[in-house]
Structure 1
Amino acid sequence: MSAGHNLQLLRLSALLQLEQRARRCSAAELGFLMVNDTAGVVPCQQAALWRRSGPGAGDVAALSGACAPDPASPYVGWLRQVLAIFDQDEVAGPRVVLSSHLPAALATDWVEWLPSHALWCPLDAGQGQRLGGLLLARSAPWHDGDTHMMAALAGAYAQAWLLASQRPVGLPWVTKLRHRRRAVVAVVAVLAVLALLPIRQSVLAPAEVVPITPMQIRAPFDGVVDTIAVAPNAEVTAGQVLVSLDTTQLRTRHRVATKSREIAEAEYSQTAQMALSDPSVKGRLALLQSKIEQQAAEVGFVEEQLRRAEMSAPAAGIAVFDDANDWVGRPVAVGERIMIVADPTQVELEIQVPVADVTTFDTGAETVFFPNVAPDHPVDASVVFASHASQPAADGVLAHRFRAAFAGTGPDLRLGLKGTAKIYGERRPLLMWLLRRPLAMVRQWLML
């Protein structure tokens, strides 16, 4: 392949690359590219871009070797008049222009501002739409190859310029929103309506069925559990023995106290007989009588402790505790609860609501209980009590305790039944319900 063919291939490759670059440029970048990078394909010394605003009207948009043309400079003023004259010719395609094509007043300054040979390239976008033109000037004459090359390049420039002027400026999603303004307005309106839509506040929390008035079976004194007479959750009758404490030490104390009382009584009797013959002994009788009463009180106290060592059911119900083996042989302190006796028909719902989920719930708030064993059969209830202070729940989370009364009772509402309760509150806007936790966190951060 000859050197001439290689040169043509290089120029053709440069032409294709320049066209691709032009299509990727913005409107501001394209003008700079046309007046400065065209020389890489078609050699020239100066270039000027004319932006058309009407037939024979427009302005200089870009100059080679300059960031932006100065509208007040003499060169731009002279070039504006020259390009306006060249633009009046509606002939398509590049053509060579000379100073003789200009009026005498403008032609005399040609030598001062431009090289002797110039090529005018109209930028036509098709369908009679002309965007402007590109003027290239150099000292060497223009050849047919240059003209054909510029004809192809001018067409690519015109298409790129048209696309760049129509290409949206800014972020793509912003442009899409502008084109879909009605849809955006409709969506915003719907969201605003939904945000203000009043909904009922609600909270889900773990719950358990508990007795309303449980009867506590507590240790009457410090001791050790000897026997548990009933099984967990067994039915008991009033007066039935439930728990017995070990009485070994109490029986020993009872024998000692009884013996001490007998000794005090014998001593009192002997002293009383001696007082009949010796009046000076009568003074000891009062002291011995007090000692007898003291020992009698000790015997009575121990007998009472022995009687209370057996704890009976105060009323009929169910004995609620975990496992008898956990209690037998276990030391208990006075007042420590061992079990409770509860009426299985008198139950209510205890709800542990975490502090983070608590909102305003008035007495009588509607509540729905979903038992774990039958979540598809919810039970209605209403709040009757709400604690003001929070306490650690079984899982260690701070929670407020709520109590709810069931609307009705049934065999399925057994003591100890666990599940999930849903408490309903007042109606508030959906937006406030969605933002309740973020607002709470913001308040904590700001320490309001």
Structure 2
Amino acid sequence: MQWKQLLSAKRWGYEARELNDQIDARSEFQRDYDRLIFSSPFRRLQNKTQVFPLPGSVFVHNRLTHSLEVASVGRSLGRLFYMMTKKKNPNVDIDIPFLQEVGNIVSAACLSHDLGNPAFGHSGEAAISSYFIHGDGNRYESLVTKEQWQDLIHFEGNANALRILTHPFNGKDDKGFALTYTSLAAIVKYPCRAIDGHVKGNHHRKKYGFFEGEKPVFDKIAIELGLQVDPANPEGYLRHPLVYLVEAADDICYNIIDLEDAHHLRILSYQEVEDLLMPLCMDDNLRDRLDGLKDTGSKVSLLRAKAINTLIHGCATVFTGKQDELLAGTFQSSLIDALDPALVDHMKRIEKLSIERIYNAPNVVQIEIAGFKVLNALLSEFLPAYLKTNKTIFDKKIVAMIPEQFHTSSDDVYSKIRSVLDFVSGMTDVYAVDLYRKIQGITIPSLD
């Protein structure tokens, strides 16, 4: 793979359009960022769980604040890579015209990386998958292909993000978000189908990155950008190199910032957080600065900032130094795992404690259980009603609740299932719970 081809300003749906030569305030990739940040799917992330339940008296991260922070870290990673590369090759802007835009590309991809995640955090993905494996949804297995069935029993938010960005939803722009090809490729962490994914030890196929219905979409993107076909999977591809920066930005943020939230919620003490983050902070004066602060929240914020800074510089250095492997598609780990062994050990220590103390905290488990109940109930109502040929009066009323944009004129069962999943997976936590209560008759809608 070659950077000159990998970095393309060609826009999805506007392939024949010539780039505008007039002076503009924004590059094509900055336009991608702006289109995302002003979009309704992005705004809805503010009411989707990141890890902890949506805030009461204590404000913690939701999907929106997480995405903004990941985008900020991603921009720094891309910018550092460009600066390091330019230092080695002062003529790089001539050789690779869009390399200076890498920070903007990665930032836009980071902004959209969680766009396809359903309500209730990662448990929402598991809840949708479980409906088809163990719930009423298993009746549909004989009505779809084996490839399509793998999509349903392994619902993947990353693949759903690509669909949201490119699918011609009913009544909407048939070009989707019309993002650049490179921004779209940079969000697909595992460029393969569900049936080809979930391969242990293979970084390109750990999960999957596009639904069966979006395979032609990604094929077109891959051909345009010159992505290498996966030698072990002719139906898939090797990652776009910028995916590694997007992945690193996400890894850095959730590993470090979950500790900050846990401290705010008094799940972890200040001393526990300091013990975890101090080894990542490469600052000889940090001890004096911490001792000068009385507020423990401010101390944690300082530790968080310093730890993130260390990891950003470390990952950017690895990414710049491993260019040959990244472009050849032979780099088989995350950037975090390729850092100095001492840093990797500290990150694994954080991960271990996070699993034990944070992700299994009572309020986190409670929201996951609630998510399973709510999403299962919604799918049990909407899917059968939408798929029925001879609908009852109740079925028609249920279907009428699905917004027009999610309807399909296709008679294909898979397409109809996908339409309902588009609707349900796009719901916020609050909307899903409210709709669940109304459909179950727990609350009666107000006439006000």
TM-score normalised by structure 1 residue count: 0.14
Higher strand share: 1
Higher helix share: 2
Name the larger-Rg structure. Answer: 1
Q: Which has the higher contact order (CA 8 A, sep 6+)?
A: 2
